[in-house]
Amino acid sequence: MSETIPLRERIILALDVERPELAKAWVERTEEAIGFYKVGLQLFLAGWFDTVEWIAKRGHKVMLDLKLFDIPETVKLAVRQLNGRGVCLATVHGQPPIIRAAVEAKGDVKLLAVTVLTSTGEEDLRAEGMTGTIAELVDLRARQALELGCDGVVASGHEAARLRAGLGQDFLIVTPGIRPADHNGQDDQTRVMTAGRAIANGADHVVVGRPITRAADPLAVIRAMQAEIAAAVGKNREPHF
């Protein structure tokens, strides 16, 4: 885990909304506390690169989360389109042929390999005919991605500590499925974790959407999560004997 990332860039706010106007309103509402935003497939199709470039021109970083998955040549050409657009991080699925193609064209964009979606459970792997565990699949895909030139991985907080122990510190881990400490609800994520715990486990950034955008006081939720993160970073700096 990098200790030099500014606190305002640790949380990546997921702009999972249907219109660019709503996304821009959320940026304006939260940018005093946050400097990193995720544009996913829904918003990208609604606003295309205009939304990405608008966020970047305000001095913020953008994670373009399209999870590219196609034949290698198509992925390479798609990644090439991201250069010079203000995209900091972009996601691709973690299969070796896709990663090789994406790395060839990444230019000024850092690539994150999606290991296993956080909505996936062990029973889903069984349904697909896989006999291994999620942990084994994450480890395999992460190792392959880094060997092929990816800058990091998307992985749940549950896998972050193991990936750090096995693969070292010289790569990014971005963790979705983040929930507040008092979260008890049910949603489409099966492998969730608090922001502080994910950072303590070795994540560099956490992606947060609904816990912020559905909160009565979004800035209060952000500040609370940032306090957890600051405590986790501080604890990781303490010497261990």
Ordered by start, the domain boundaries in the chain are 9-236
The whole-angstrom separation of Cα 178 and Cα 198 is 8
- Tell me the catalytic residues: 67
Q: pLDDT tens digits for the chain (241 residues)? A: 567 899 999 999 999 999 999 999 999 999 999 999 999 999 999 988 999 999 999 999 999 999 999 999 999 999 999 999 999 999 998 889 999 999 999 999 999 999 876 665 556 555 656 656 777 778 888 999 999 999 999 988 888 889 999 999 999 999 998 887 665 444 444 446 899 999 999 999 999 999 999 999 999 999 999 999 999 887 655 444 3
- Total residues belonging to the chain: 241
In angstroms, the Cα distances linking 23 to 18, 37, 84, 198 are 8, 10, 21, 26
Question: 9-236: which CATH number, 3.40.50.12710, 1.50.10.10, 3.20.20.70, 3.40.50.280?
Answer: 3.20.20.70
Please state the pTM of the whole predicted model: 0.87
